[in-house]
Amino acid sequence: MTDKEYIKSFANNSQSAFTRFYDKHIDAFVGYFGRKFNKGHDYSLDLFHEAFMAMYDNILCGKLTVENLTSSLYQYLLGIAIRKMQAGDRKAREFDKEGIYVQGGDG
């Protein structure tokens, strides 16, 4: 299935296309974020889910269409994930600057 076919299928709410794209890319995605950004498996998996849903929403609302896709759909997904990761890292640094620390247990 091509990226354009995926977009059309997602726009038509095709569960099989959703599952096929998800299964095709999840392992590579998690491995990439582990190697490139030193992120753990659980973090990378959560990031994949968030980015995947954002990409899917962009298709459903018409923000991403066959006509305006300028890279591969996987690269588009990576771009979303990288921006989400950077936003999370910025937020964590802001908390650190304020002296706010999240502690577990009774601490």
Give the tens place of pLDDT for each residue, 22-68: 999 999 999 999 999 999 999 999 999 999 999 999 999 999 999 99
Is it the case that residue 93 has pLDDT exceeding 90? no
Interacting residues of 50 by C-beta distance below 8 A, sequence separation 6+: 81, 84
User: Alpha-carbon distance 5 to 9, whole Å?
Assistant: 6
Is it the case that residue 103 has pLDDT exceeding 90? no
What's the predicted TM-score (pTM) here?
A: 0.83
Mean pLDDT computed over 71-90: 94
Residue 107: pLDDT band (50, 70, 90) is very low
